[in-house]
Each structure stands twice: as C-alpha cells, then as structure tokens.
Homo-oligomer: A and B are copies of this chain.
Amino acid sequence: NMIKVAVVGGEGIGPEVTDQSHRILKWFSARRGIPVALREAQYGLIPYLATGKVLPDDTAEAMEEADAILWGATGGPETKEVPPAARKVGSLLSLRSKYDLYANLRPIVANPALADSASLKASVLKDVDFIIIRELTSGIYFGEPRGIETLPDGQRRGFNTQQYTTSQIRRVARTAFELARTRKGRVCSVDKANVLETSVLWREEVTALHQAEFSDIELTHLYVDNAAMQIVRAPSQFDVMVTCNIFGDILSDCAAMASGSLGMLPSVSLGPPDRLGRRKALYEPVHGSAPDIAGKGIANPLGSILSVAMMLRLTLNRPDDATLLEKAVDTALAGGARTADIAEPGAKRLSTQEMGDAVLNALDKV
C-alpha cells in the first residue's frame, strides 16, 4: 500500500525550502524503497489569482486524501492581495481545524556545530533535546464568543474566549505521555493555574490522566511565565513539555532561539489516531514565510528537511531512515555547510539548493 504525501510549498520561502525537502523525500523513496505517492499542489496567492481560492479544489483534494502533508509556509505581503474572507477559507488555522490536527510537536535540539551563531552560551545549549507539544485546535485561537463590539458610550471592546474541555485536554496530554515513554520519561505541563480557570481544569485533567494511566512518567507543572524563563535559563532540563495553543505558540518560538536557530526547526501537527494508530499529519518547518528573503534562494531548507525526518519516523514508520537523514544533516553541518542564517561572519554561505545538495551528498556517501 502506497503512503500518500501531498507536497504544498505555499508562499514566501515555502516553495524554495520545500523543493529541497521534496528532493530528499524522493531520494528515500528511490534509494530506500519507501512506498510513497507524492503529489504536488499549490497554495496561496498564485492559485488565488487563477481560481479565486487560496486553497484550490485540486489542493484540497490532495490534502484530503493524503496520509501526510509536507507544508512550506504561508503569509507575507501576498496576504494583503487576497481579501480577508477569501484568505480565511483554507487558511492554515482552518486546515488545522478541518483535519483536527490537535497535537503540534516541535522538537528543540541544539546542534553544537551551530554554537557560534546562537545567542545562548554553548554551556547552556549543551544537551538541549526536548519537544514542545502544543494543543493546536482549541484554546483562545478558536473559542467563541469573539469579536469587537461598540459599547453604549461609543468605546469599542475586543473580546476572545480561552476555553478547553476535558477531552481536548486529555487527548493532547495523552500524546505527551506516550511520547515521553519513548524518550526520557518526563512531562512538564505548562499553564497559568494561579490565575486562569482554564488552566485549573488543564492541571486537574493532566494530573488525573497521569494518575490513571501514566504513573510511570514523571509529571511536573510550571506556570507559563516561569516556563518562559526556564527555557532561556536552562533548556536542557526539559524532556516533553505540553501546553495550550497560545502558550505553545509563544514558548515554542522562545525555545526556537534556545536551540540556536529558527531555520533548523521541524514540526508536525497530528490528528486523532485511527484504529491502527495512524494519524493524519502535517509536517512543516517552524519558520514562517520570511518575506524579506523570499525568492532569493538563500533560505535555510533544513527545517523542512528535518520535517521529512519526522515524517520518516512518525508517518512512514522508518525510524532508521529518520536517523539516517538526521545524521546526514549533522554531517553536512559538521562539514561546514551553512546558509546565511547560521553562518558565522566571514564564513561561506550556501544557497538553499546547495544546502539541499550538501545533505544529498552526505546521504549518497552512507
């Protein structure tokens, strides 16, 4: 049975970096006999101009039938050329919701080869290897009521609803506990239970699930403000961190810097498991569309390429190939391959394509 992968570069630097991860995926398909059916599809301003939809029917179909989506990026100045209403249909947020991609996994691993371009000290980055699991389809991103109203005195009032139900909390906490079992066995749940009722419920439900089914895992709790501080102070203390949508958004970008470079970071968003435990998955680099460098061919493709490594592990069930790819990236970096974002001053800067070449060369040599 072929595993179906939709390849959607999207906007900004998305297409450029996805071109490289696409090459990598084809290498694994051809050389390591992985049965994937790759289908490329467009997203964003270009299809909007042609069809009136940022997510045209063909792309929607490709993503619908896919087991995994290799996603590039969306956003940037193109956004302004599409009316907000047309932008909303098929937006990244609506896709997360449509496919119920509730568990967003963002691994944070510091690569010693990049210590020079990091803002944290090498001693602080030592042994950093954790993963943030962000709830992705609920919370204040989707809560109702929401809006801007005009008050009787002529003032305006903006409002949003942060909300979580028992099952929404438990299913993402379950993903965290299960993942911790395959790692160092530690989960840190992050909330603001000293202020927010949503967080009080979050803490209670995470604790209850832990006691009922995962007492072999070490569970700790941190307030979100303290978590932000600890991520900068001593990121190596964490194994698996689980938190709500908005806190995860903020903390994972904070942690991105703790890893040394945003351009290096992969992610996946997982839907609910089917009877065989398979989960629909959207793989994407953590960096966004980076409009300032889009089209220049200088973006770092390693976030997208390492997302393919996550795909090999989680969707394609090829942990050895995942490790192989991660090692090839390490080899390329150890050999001095650097795109502009991770280059020390004066060092040679590879183009996006050349970085793809460097990883493929390393793979060919294995």
Contacts and interface: CB of A to CB of B under 8 A. Distances in A.
Interface stretch (A63-71, A226-234, A297-305): A226-234
Q: Which of A147, A158, A205, A254 has the most chain B CB atoms closer than 10 A to its own CB?
A: A158
Interface stretch (A9-17, A149-157, A309-317): A149-157
Given A119-B232, A140-B195, A146-B196, 20 more contacts: A93-B195, A119-B124, A119-B233, A120-B120, A141-B195, A148-B197, A156-B166, A158-B163, A158-B198, A158-B200, A158-B202, A159-B197, A159-B198, A160-B198, A161-B162, A224-B249, A228-B253, A231-B254, A232-B257, A254-B254
Contact of A120 (B119, B166, B229): B119
A165 B160 contact: no
A258 interface: yes
Q: Which 9 A-B pairs have the closest CB atoms?
A: A158-B201, A232-B257, A158-B198, A228-B254, A225-B253, A155-B166, A229-B253, A159-B163, A119-B124
A279 to B, nearest CB: 22
**What is the oligomeric copy number?**
2
A238 interface: no
Interface of A: 93, 118-121, 124, 140-141, 143, 146-148, 151, 155-167, 192, 195-202, 205, 224-226, 228-229, 231-234, 246-247, 249-254, 256-258, 262
Contacts of A251: 228, 250
A192 B158 CA distance: 13
